[in-house]
């Protein structure tokens, strides 16, 4: 499936400065982006390049110092609780540390039930059970075995699957995934990515991956944004950027993955 042309979220000259004076740090520097419906985008860069800061700005968790974000054709407004609630119904995130995404005092059943509540759906107890079970099955978890457990009783991999089960129930328009596979082994890793790709195909979800792994980015993405020291130094279709990188930083990132060309058979 290919992304369509409907522009969903874009940013113009987005800048984020932390600190003052000698401690001033421009984490995101005049960044422009345009993400479309059903598009899979990877933002690739080394540690400290500003990926997570940019992701938090897109999420509305961090206020940009300057620049403008447009969402569905309108300047994004997050002034009051109502604006934010509406925005966060449409955009969800999976962060590196799954523990940060859950209320650790709530059992799995409540965590999933809350997703159904957020949708405002009127469902019977049986319907709720069926939906939660379906979500767990989608990510190869057994609801019957987990529903009564607390997040800290789950493995890192189970937690990550549970996060995807939540996304399955919430079906947001945009999913921001910050290194979503960092806590799972290589085998589960491709399963998790396949789950996310399937969600995109079924729900036309736009997915933004934040990663330092060019290989992963190529495997999953339509579009790559390469970020260095707060700036987007190169962007384009995944093939175009990987096969014919223009910027020296991109060339270096790719050459740091010596087997990339062979593994992905890029010639
Ligand atoms: N809350 C903060 N206060 C001050 N500086 C910050 C803050 N958050 C991030 N930074 C700085 O902004 C820069 C970009 O950090 P950011 O976490 O966005 O990078 P990243 O590319 O996501 O790195 P990683 O891959 O390690 O997560 C870094 O220099 C970091 O120290």
Query: Distance between CA 213 and CA 216 in Å, rounded?
Result: 5
Tokens of 145: 């075995």
The arithmetic mean of pLDDT across residues 23-50, rounded, is: 95
Nearest CA to ligand 1 atom 18: 50
Q: What confidence score (pLDDT) does residue 146 get?
A: 92
How far, in Å, from the CA of 267 to the mean position of ligand 1?
36
Q: What confidence score (pLDDT) does residue 183 get?
A: 55
How far, in Å, from the CA of 230 to the mean position of ligand 1?
9
How far, in Å, from the CA of 227 to the mean position of ligand 1?
13
- Positive or negative, the CA dihedral 60, 62, 63, 68 is negative
pLDDT digits (tens, 9 = 90+) for 64-94: 999 999 999 999 999 999 999 889 889 998 8
Q: What confidence score (pLDDT) does residue 137 get?
A: 93
- Delimit the domains of the chain by residue range: 7-101+172-263
pLDDT digits (tens, 9 = 90+) for 149-158: 998 898 877 8
Is 237 within 8 Å of 245 (Cβ atoms)?
no
- Whether residue 103 is predicted with pLDDT greater than 90 in this model: the reply is no
- The proportion of the chain whose per-residue pLDDT surpasses 70, expressed as a percent, equals 89
Nearest CA to ligand 1 atom 9: 53
Mean pLDDT taken over the chain: 87
What one-character-per-residue DSSP string does 164-183 give? HHHHHHH--SEEEEESTTTT
Query: Distance between CA 207 and CA 164 in Å, rounded?
Result: 12
Nearest CA to ligand 1 atom 26: 47
Tokens of 184: 């799972």
Tokens of 226: 């390469």
Give all strands (DSSP E) within the chain, no chain letters.
7-18, 25-36, 40-44, 66-71, 74-75, 91-94, 174-178, 206-211, 223-228, 231-237
Is 56's C-beta closer than 6 angstroms to any atom of ligand 1?
no
The arithmetic mean of pLDDT across residues 194-219, rounded, is: 88
Q: Exposed e or buried b for every residue in 125-148, given b needs 16+ CB within 10 A?
A: eeebbebbbebbebbebebeebbe
Is 93 within 8 Å of 59 (Cβ atoms)?
yes
Give the contacts of 167 (CB within 8 A, at least 6 positions apart).
92, 94, 175, 199
Q: What confidence score (pLDDT) does residue 255 get?
A: 86
Give the contacts of 37 (CB within 8 A, at least 6 positions apart).
3, 4, 6, 8, 173, 204, 206
Burial class (CB in 10 A: 0-12, 13-18, 19+), 88: middle
Listed residue (171, 63, 69) closest to 115, CA to CA: 171
ipTM of the complex in this document: 0.96
- The proportion of the chain whose per-residue pLDDT surpasses 90, expressed as a percent, equals 57
Q: What confidence score (pLDDT) does residue 267 get?
A: 46
Nearest CA to ligand 1 atom 2: 18
Reported confidence tier of residue 265, pLDDT bands at 50, 70, 90: low
Fold that domain 7-101+172-263 belongs to in CATH: Rossmann fold (3.40.50)
pLDDT digits (tens, 9 = 90+) for 113-144: 988 988 877 889 999 999 999 999 999 899 99
Is 18's C-beta closer than 6 angstroms to any atom of ligand 1?
yes
C-alpha atoms less than 13 angstroms from C-alpha of 212 in its C-beta half-sphere: 11
Query: Distance between CA 42 and CA 234 in Å, rounded?
Result: 12
Is 23's C-beta closer than 6 angstroms to any atom of ligand 1?
no
């Amino acid at each position: 499936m290919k992304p369509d042309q409907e522009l969903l979220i874009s940013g113009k000259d987005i800048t984020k400065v932390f600190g003052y004076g000698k401690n001033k740090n421009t984490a995101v520097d005049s960044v422009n982006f345009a993400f479309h419906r059903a598009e899979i985008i990877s933002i690739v860069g080394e540690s400290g390049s500003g990926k997570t800061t940019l992701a938090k700005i897109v999420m509305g968790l961090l206020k940009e110092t300057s620049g403008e974000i447009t969402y569905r054709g309108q300047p994004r407004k997050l002034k009051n609780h109502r604006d934010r609630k509406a925005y966060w119904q449409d955009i969800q995130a999976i962060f590196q540390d799954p523990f940060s995404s859950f209320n650790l005092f709530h059992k799995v059943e409540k965590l999933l039930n809350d997703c159904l509540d957020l949708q405002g759906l009127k469902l019977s107890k049986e319907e709720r059970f069926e939906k939660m079970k379906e979500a767990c099955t989608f990510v190869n978890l057994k609801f019957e075995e987990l529903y009564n457990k607390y997040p800290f009783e789950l493995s890192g991999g189970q937690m990550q699957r549970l996060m995807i089960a939540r996304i399955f129930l919430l079906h947001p328009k945009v999913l921001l995934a910050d290194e979503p596979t960092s806590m799972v082994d290589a085998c589960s890793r491709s399963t998790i990515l396949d789950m996310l790709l399937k969600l995109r195909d079924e729900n036309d979800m736009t997915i933004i991956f934040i990663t330092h792994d060019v290989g992963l980015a190529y495997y999953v993405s339509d579009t790559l944004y390469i970020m260095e020291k707060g700036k987007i130094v190169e962007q384009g279709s995944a093939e175009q950027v990987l096969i014919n990188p223009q910027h020296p930083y991109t060339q270096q990132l790719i050459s740091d993955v010596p087997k990339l060309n062979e593994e992905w058979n890029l010639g």
